[in-house]
Amino acid sequence: MLKISNLTVKANNKEILKDLNLTINDGEIHVLMGPNGIGKSTICKTIFHHPDYEITKGQIIYNETDITNYDTPSIADLGFYLLNQSPIEIEGVSTAELLRSVLSKKTNTKVDIFEFNKKLTNLCTKLNIPKEFVHRDINFNMSGGEKKKMELLHLLILEPKFIILDEIDSGLDVDSIKLVGRTLKEYYDTHKPSILIITHHQDILKYFNDYRVSILQDGKIIQSGDKSLGAQIDMHGFKANIIDRDQENE
Ligand SMILES: Nc1ncnc2c1ncn2[C@@H]1O[C@H](COP(=O)(O)OP(=O)(O)OP(=O)(O)O)[C@@H](O)[C@H]1O
Ligand SMILES: [Mg+2]
């Protein structure tokens, strides 16, 4: 279980998160929504200890271990995987080289290159990615949608236990959304990870039967509910929903 308590975060002297509380249980799918620029990606980067984000208060606990001050490799070693909103390009290392070396470290064995390449080829077919992409520099000169699918391929190879998807759906065409949605659902059904999905749209959520939805505003979670909350936001927008909530509280 991941438990974030009273998390307050600054970047460049600007306070972005303030007393944020968020709990995600084992095997839970949790959807985080909120207007642009409100701090959703900041939560992801803070969990992974990105150096731009300073935690001034609060704690991040994972399975009873305080990981607030863990560095990025240690967070990854725990089985966390972040699919970034804007995946970066890395020149000089191919996707296949990176994944094979990470997998060797993770399993403490020498990964058989023949078997590994066969697995990558199968995943390329499954995700409709050109096979040669895995031997190119990481994400280099790839389109927005191609990068998202490549990062999903990383995920399928590394088999994480806690997955954070920061707008995996942005940049994907309609067919790719279906492919990605079905692939994620299949991964969820077979591995039962916890998943934090950040999205502005409902399309990718159609593939999951059950999930919780939280809304981020003013640096904290202001409302949580079941999947009907996401549908409500989709129909009426954040403003209408927040006004309704305020009236309910009066
Ligand atoms: N390293 C940084 N330095 C200064 N300001 C930052 C930094 N990172 C984020 N911000 C600011 O913090 C706010 C939250 O940014 P963040 O990227 O977390 O928003 P978001 O909710 O993910 O938005 P979107 O839906 O557009 O992706 C924004 O106003 C952004 O400009
Ligand atoms: Mg973002």
For 156-203, the DSSP string reads: HHH--SEEEEESTTTT--HHHHHHHHHHHHHHHHHH--EEEEE-S-SG
Question: Tokens 């997998």 label which residue?
Answer: 103
The CA 130 to ligand 1 mean position distance, Å, reads 33
Report pLDDT for 22: 98
The count of structural domains within the chain is: 1
| pLDDT tens readout for residues 75-96 | 999 999 999 999 999 999 999 9
Atom 5 (ligand 1) nearest CA? 11
Question: Looking at ligand 1, which atom is closest to the CA of residue 200?
Answer: 25
Report pLDDT for 214: 98
Atom 28 (ligand 1) nearest CA? 37
Report pLDDT for 246: 53
Mean pLDDT for 23-43 is 97
Report pLDDT for 247: 53
In terms of pTM, does the model score above 0.85?
Answer: yes
β partners of residue 31: 197, 213
**Closest ligand to residue 16's CA:** 1
Q: What is the mean pLDDT of the chain?
A: 95
Residue 137: both structure tokens together: 């520099």
- Residue range(s) defining the domain that contains residue 162: 2-249
Query: What stretch of H or E contains 138?
Result: strand 137-138
| pLDDT tens readout for residues 123-132 | 999 999 999 9
Report pLDDT for 248: 52
Atom 24 (ligand 1) nearest CA? 36
Mean pLDDT for 130-143 is 96
Mean pLDDT for 36-46 is 98
Going by C-beta distance under 8 Å and a sequence separation of 6 or more, which residues neighbour residue 158? 81, 99, 102, 103, 106
Please, are residues 220 and 238 in contact by the beta-carbon 8 Å criterion?
no
> How sure is the predictor about 239, in pLDDT bands with cuts at 50, 70 and 90?
confident
% pLDDT > 70, the chain: 96
Report pLDDT for 149: 98
The enclosing domain of 111 has a CATH number of 3.40.50.300
| Alpha carbons 29 and 197: distance in angstroms, whole number | 7
| Alpha carbons 217 and 139: distance in angstroms, whole number | 32
- Residue ranges of alpha helices (H) inside 33-112 are 40-47, 72-77, 95-107
Please, are residues 241 and 232 in contact by the beta-carbon 8 Å criterion?
yes
Question: Looking at ligand 1, which atom is closest to the CA of residue 53?
Answer: 1
For residues 118-143, b (16+ Cβ closer than 10 Å) or e, as one string?
ebbeebbeebebeeebbeebbbeebe
Mean pLDDT for 105-127 is 94
